[in-house]
Structure 1
């Protein structure tokens, strides 16, 4: 996701949002794939509005009282699996999340979120339609056994500003600046269903790689919506001197995936009122969309102090014998079998 160079390609008449969201909570909860289940099968990092809980429905934009995101009208929730380091002795340590260099200083972990128009290129005069209250979607699947979905990538960072090359699985060597995970969602909607049984079939992908020109939406999914993408930076550098002697990758995602093929992300729309549509109808770019032009924004300290209570109460820090949900308590992936691979 080479925003440093691609920003110059965006026509002046197109809006593009890029903003930070600090960490709301890190828990085993997944109201989209495993609604009502606490704990869920594996650990997630969640950012966004504080209406987040094990069961979510209705207009989320009207339910939250604060958000960890830059735009104070965005009560959406965005979440991904957590990364762990596996020590040669078999124990696990959660990898800290670090702030993206493009964002204001002081953000507590979190991720960078993008809403762009047809993958940062000309939208061909196609109107970008906002998601509707209740909309949700997933990209990727924790049960995937190969890399087959465009836009799900890893980047071995030299610095926080590194954006390529993009890899289909975990880096094969220690990374000087950490590891970035990239999650890039489809942008064609069927115009009818706010969700689908697998949380994916109501959407259609028309791009081959992240931030490349998108083809036209098919008749089955005719509505062009904003292109949503996440970047999460993991501070793996503290583990570089513990890399296994045989050179094998020591990092795993929170559902025991050491390849990275199962990397996935969840999205639950929660922009208040018509705020996202106003942004997509505007000509603002990045920070120029803040301070009421056209979106309301907030300071980093307000983002960081928005939290939710711990609803699972388990140890996710220190050196762990098992990944949360993957060991002695016998949680498995049974709740994930309906998702696409």
Structure 2
């Protein structure tokens, strides 16, 4: 499997030896594409920009952690592991044609997985393969990236890669040739987004006003760090699993220079109205049932097979969808991106 080669490449790069690097890797099919954001603009219908959402079907505009319990409120999940009712969401990519119209870019499943678009989710325990990590607590949520970013640097753990026609066996955690900017040219294998969450927690707060301050990256970490590598700062001493999102955007149908801008500039735009790429972001609301995630981390589960967890078929996961709350055209050619003034 190509993804196992990726894991090994990460191990060698970070100096963790030649053994197999344990990481849960599984698909979460598309739950809904909607203009809702219960973290940044809770209760707002519609939210300022469009998101693509996966996970438990109790997702809604509010999701007050004091009253909303994802496992008990959801009746299904679009993820492989049927005990994972968490929600994960990112911005949506659009193509802007030469004539000024827009078309939403669909997603496709990562290598070796079956899904209806959506997101490939990784959970990575301690990178040394020995240290324990503490699973998230009920009500835990966090955010990586900045939907308002207009320059590089604000989200070093959010990156893009122009994928070749066949598999790419180099690292998957924002190392070269990944870039915070969207690729400039046509990509034979589509565009991949990777969003990597912090691995250190303050041990007290399950959220913070900016949805970031209660978590931190390890000291000295950089774009190539993976897992819970490195020492956590004293302010955030608890090691937590690393959550990483991988989204494959199917830009291949748009690889026609006759519809690209006449000046040859790249034509893709995030749903935040960002043509550079810096505003891609990822949101996470924890919703694993009971102690299931802790069991999986303790068992060092690897890939999409884990004896410590319950799984469901890809067909069952793909059936877990929900209707959009905000009715607007997100599938046809449009003169503007939903929520954006051009």
Superposition TM-score, scaled by structure 2 size: 0.88
Q: 1:33 aligns with which of 36, 40, 52?
A: 40
Q: 1:15-164 residue pairs with structure 2 within 5 A?
A: 15-56=22-63, 57=65, 58-104=68-114, 107-118=115-126, 121-122=127-128, 125-148=130-153, 149-159=155-165, 161-162=167-168
Task: Name 2:222's counterpart in structure 1.
Answer: 208
Once the two structures are superposed, residues 11-44 of structure 1 have per-residue CA deviations (whole angstroms, 9 ceiling, x without a partner) of 8697421000000000001111111011100000
Which stretch shifts more, 60-69 or 223-232? 60-69
Deviation at 1:258, TM superposition (A): 0.5
**Aligned pair 1:327/2:341, yes or no?**
yes
**Aligned pair 1:222/2:237, yes or no?**
yes
8 Å CA contact 1:26, 1:43 repeated in 2: yes
CA distance in structure 1 between the aligned counterparts of 2:166 and 2:328, rounded to whole angstroms: 31
Deviation at 1:235, TM superposition (A): 0.8
CA distance in structure 1 between the aligned counterparts of 2:195 and 2:135, rounded to whole angstroms: 19
CA distance in structure 1 between the aligned counterparts of 2:209 and 2:303, rounded to whole angstroms: 34
Q: Matched residue of 1:238: which SS? A: helix
Count of equivalent residues: 319
Which stretch shifts more, 12-21 or 126-135? 12-21
8 Å CA contact 1:155, 1:163 repeated in 2: no
Task: Name 2:5's counterpart in structure 1.
Answer: 5
CA distance in structure 1 between the aligned counterparts of 2:226 and 2:83, rounded to whole angstroms: 28
Q: Matched residue of 1:62: which SS? A: helix
Gaps of 5+ in 2: 171-176
8 Å CA contact 1:254, 1:323 repeated in 2: yes
Deviation at 1:284, TM superposition (A): 2.6
Structure 2 vs 1, CA of residues 243 and 46 (structure 1 numbering), >3 Å: closer, same or farther? same
Deviation at 1:171, TM superposition (A): 0.5
Task: Name 1:235's counterpart in structure 2.
Answer: 250
Gaps of 5+ in 1: 329-341
Once the two structures are superposed, residues 251-309 of structure 1 have per-residue CA deviations (whole angstroms, 9 ceiling, x without a partner) of 000011011111111000000000000000003311331xxx01100001110111112
CA distance in structure 1 between the aligned counterparts of 2:199 and 2:128, rounded to whole angstroms: 14
Root-mean-square deviation (Å) = 1.9
8 Å CA contact 2:55, 2:88 repeated in 1: yes
Structure 2 vs 1, CA of residues 39 and 281 (structure 1 numbering), >3 Å: closer, same or farther? same
8 Å CA contact 1:15, 1:282 repeated in 2: no
Task: Name 1:335's counterpart in structure 2.
Answer: none
